Amino acid sequence: MLEREREVSAYSGFLNKRLQLEQKREQEACCDIIISAPLKLMLEVTKVCNHRCIFCANSKMTRPRGMIDMALAERLLSEAAEIGVKELSLVATGEPFAFPKITDVIRIAKRLGYTYVYVTTNGGIASPEKLKSALDAGLDSIKFSFNAGTRETYRKIHGQDDFDKVVQRIKYVVDYRRKTQKSFPIGISFVVCDINRSEKKIIENMFGELVDDIVFHEMGAQGGHNNLLVEPIKNCARPFTIAGITYEGYLTLCCVDFQNYLAVADLNRLSLADAWNCETMQNIRKRFLTHDLKGTLCYRCLTGQIETVLPLIPSLATINKELFTDKKTA
């Protein structure tokens, strides 16, 4: 019991320290349109996903599915490291463990000096062998997207009958940490909607003594992709702090940019350093600072209003007029 209390205390201290640093740097960054470097790199290794979660727009996506070229991934990881980026998020619009070379990405990042590499997975295809390989390669944190307390509800939410399998994989990671005496954080992410709202307590009872953190999120509009009327996001610092990279090699503003409507540069033609402060990026930062975002996907998040939007650079986007109209989902 004392060992468990020490783990929770260490994780809480880690989260608080990281949050304070992130908030401080965001405040410093969000006052100019030219930023020396992003705080973190968000790398989309694939758009492929083995689940069809009702809260996620992946299944509605018309953008072609694919996987990042490893030579491109290594180049961009190196370029980000050169300008001082130390944090790598493998959390995007697909399932990271659907990418066969996910362990190679983690290993390269750690070799380049990234101090915090983390992933969120639904766990369905993250076999014990894949999980062990990723953790042995240096993965610093893992979170499981597990959105139901019963098998029946899980199938409705995730579109797959992986409930028992994923429970065992969460327990495998917990056991791996205990046996290896490593200290990486383990978390659960739970998106709350009407179908699963009554099962939050079940999740707490199932995993409360196993993992370090259980985060409950209310279902949102995912940048307007779900066309839901939701509470607006009060503030967003992503254009100032996060370099999102799609599997095609585009610099994007957001991790829920399923159609590349927020892509601002093609990194197959530009370096990350040049793209980070390119004209399109400077313009969108200026629009954030002056609250002039109408007509963009960001406007939906920040206002909660469902408006027709257009891509920042049409040639980089997969146009979907039906998805991005002002029609509201009932």
Confidence band for 82, pLDDT divided at 50, 70 and 90: very high
**pLDDT computed for residue 330 by the predictor:** 43
Q: pLDDT tens digits for 189-204?
A: 999 999 999 999 999 9
Can you tell me the mean pLDDT for 101-124? 98
pLDDT, mean over the chain:
88
Specify the 3-state DSSP secondary structure of 118. Answer: strand
**pLDDT computed for residue 84 by the predictor:** 96
| Conformation bin of residue 277: beta by default, left when phi > 0, alpha when psi is -120 to 50 | alpha
**d(Cα 79, Cα 94) in Å, to the nearest integer?**
23
**CB-CB contact of 227 with 219 (8 Å):** no
**CB-CB contact of 214 with 190 (8 Å):** yes
Residue in the structure block whose two tokens are 């370029």? 79
Chain centre to alpha carbon of residue 173: 20
pTM of the predicted model, to two decimals?
A: 0.89
**Nearest C-alpha neighbor of 196 from the set 144, 150, 143:** 150
**Nearest C-alpha neighbor of 266 from the set 105, 72, 104:** 72
Phi first, then psi: give them for residue 121, nearest 5 degrees.
-135, 150
**pLDDT computed for residue 89 by the predictor:** 97
Can you tell me the mean pLDDT for 139-150? 98
Rounded to whole angstroms, the maximal C-alpha distance in the chain is 57
Q: pLDDT tens digits for 163-184?
A: 999 999 999 999 999 999 999 9
Can you tell me the mean pLDDT for 282-290? 93
pLDDT at 3 over 60: no
Give the rounded percent of residues in the chain with a pLDDT score beyond 70: 84
Q: pLDDT tens digits for 224-274?
A: 566 555 566 667 889 999 999 999 999 999 988 889 999 999 999 999 999
Confidence band for 2, pLDDT divided at 50, 70 and 90: very low
**CB-CB contact of 215 with 287 (8 Å):** no
